[in-house]
Structure 1
Amino acid sequence: MTLLDGKSLSAVLERDLTEQIAALVSQGVTPGLAVILVGNNPASCAYVQMKAKACKRVGIYSVTHEMPSKITQDELLSVIEILNNDPNIDGILVQLPLPAHIQTSKVLEAINPKKDVDGFHPFNIGRLSVNVDTFVPATPLGVMNLLQSYDIDVSGKDVVIVGMSNIVGKPLASLMLNAGASVSCCHILTRDVKQYTKNADIVCVAVGKVGLLSADMIKEGAVVIDIGINRLESGVLVGDVDFESVAPKSSFITPVPGGVGPMTIVTLLQNTYKAAMYRLEQRMQV
C-alpha cells in the first residue's frame, strides 16, 4: 500500500508556481484573486484563510470581501459585477455554501466565465463535458493531478465515484471519462453501492459520511481516493473511508488530512495563474 501524498506534491507544485508567477509579474501582470465570504461559517472562514495564506506564499494578490449573512442577493450580485469589471482581478471565488435565501446558481452564473477559477459556471462545466480547455473545479482536477503524479493511468480502468455533487462528483466523472475510464456514478438513490465498488479498479468517495467505505466494499489492490472530510467530536479530521481496514487492502490510498485537500488549494492557485495568463495574452494582442 502506497499513500498518495498530496501534501508533499502540493509543496512541489507551489514552488514551481511561485517561479511562474514571478516571471509573469516581471511582465507587468500580478495575478489577482477575489474571494467572497458571506456570513461566518467556521469551516468557510477556515478555508478562506488557508486560501489567502497560499496566495501569499506564491505571489498572488488576494482580497477577501466579507459580507454579512443577511446580505441580499441583488447586493451580492452587484459586488460580483464590480469584480467582473476590475482589471486587476483575474479570478473570482464565492465561498460555498451560501445562506438559504440566496440562489447559489444565480450567483455562480453571474461570475465572468473567464474569471471563474472555481470552474462552477455552466459555460465552463459545458466545456469540460466536451473535453475542451477550460477552468476545471479544483478538487476534481487535483485528484487527477495526484493520480498522474503517481503514474496511475485511468485509461481503460473501471472507476466508481460515490457522491454526485456539482462541485466534486460530476466534474470528476467528466474528467475520468475524458481520460478514457469507464465510470459508474453512485449517489443517495443508489440501492447497493457495494455492488459497484467491489469490482472497481479505482474508487473515489466524496460524500461527507464517516466510515462510508469499508474493506469489504473494495477488491484487493484497488486505488482508493478519499475526498470526504469530517471532524469527529474529538476534533480529529477523518475522511469517508474506514482507513484502518481499507488501507491494507488497497494499492494506493489518500490520507485525510494530507491527501486531496492540499491538492485542491494548489489547483485553485494554478487556475488563478491560468486566468492571469489570459490577461497577459489579451494585453499582447492589443
Structure 2
Amino acid sequence: MARHRDPLRRDISCIAVGLAVRIQSLPQGAKVGIKALAARCREGEKRIAAALRELEAHGYLRRVRDRLPSGRIITRTVFCNRPTALLHPRRPAEAPPQPAKPEPAPVPAPMQQPAPVPVCIPTAAPPAPEVPVAPPAPSAPLFVPRVPPPTAPKAPRRPLPQPSELTPDLDRAATAFLSDLHRHAPQFTLSEDDVRRLVPGVAAWLERAASPDAIRRALTDDPPHPLKHPAKLLTYRLTELLPPAPPGVDDLATLDRPRPRFTVTPFQTCEDCDRAFRSPTPGRCRDCRETRAAYAQAAA
C-alpha cells in the first residue's frame, strides 16, 4: 500500500474522509475490502461501498486485478494520499539534451503546376421500388394480472335461506331462538329489525331438523374479535352452513331395500390331475374331460 503526504480534497464527504483515515491507520497489506472494513467500522456495507467508490472517483483508491500462480484472480486495493501518484504516474528520467548540429539550408524545389483535379458530378439514382411494409404484429403483454381490479363487478350474494312454509310455530321458535342468543353469546346482541330479518333463515334450519344447540354452535363458534356486525355474520353463516334437507320416507325405503346378491361359483379339485377349477359340482377339469373323450373315441 503506497502512502504519500497530500491533504484530502474538500469536495469529498466526511464519511469518505473518515474511511480514508481508517485505511491509512491499518498495517501494510491489511484487507480493505467492503466486508473487512464493515467488520472494523460501525457503518454498514452500503455506506462503506459508497465511500470507497467516492475515493476511487477522486483518485485516492485503485483496484487492480492480479492472477496468482494457481490461476486464481484476486483484486488488490491500493490507497494513496496524493491522487496524482495514481492518475499521473511518474515518467522515466529523460536523457540530458545533446548539442544541436547545424543543419544545411534547404534547397528550394522547382515549382510545379498543380495537376487537374477530376470533378465528379453525382447523377440521380433511379428511385428504389417501394416495398410494402407489413404492420408490426401485436406483441403479447409482458404481465397479465391474475387479481381482478377493484372496479371489477362482484358476484351477487346468495339470498338468505327460506323455509318451504313459514308456519306460526316455526316463526315463534325462530324468534325465540334469536332473541335468546345474547344470553349464550353476549357479542351477538341483535336489534328487533335484525331478528325479524333473520327469522326465515333460522326457520329453514329448524325445518331441516336441526336442533337449537346445533344451530347455536354453528352460528356463534369462533367469531372474529372485535365483532362489529353480528347480524351480517349470522346472515353469512345461515346461508353458507345450511344443512341438507333430511331424507324422505321413499329415500329411507330405498336404503332399507335388500341389495341383489351375486352367485359365486366355488372352486373344485380335479379327480385326475388335482388341479383347481370353478364348477358348481365336483368332477374333472375341462382338459381331463377332453382327454378322456379323445381316448374313448380312438378306442372305438
Q: Which structure has the larger Rg over C-alpha atoms?
A: 2
User: For this structure pair, what is the TM-score category when the shorter chain's length is used for normalisation?
Assistant: under 0.3
Length-normalised TM-score, structure 1? 0.16
Q: Which has the higher strand share?
A: 1
Bigger fraction of residues in helix? 1
Q: Highest relative contact order (Cα 8 Å, sep 6+), 1 or 2?
A: 1
TM norm structure 2: 0.16
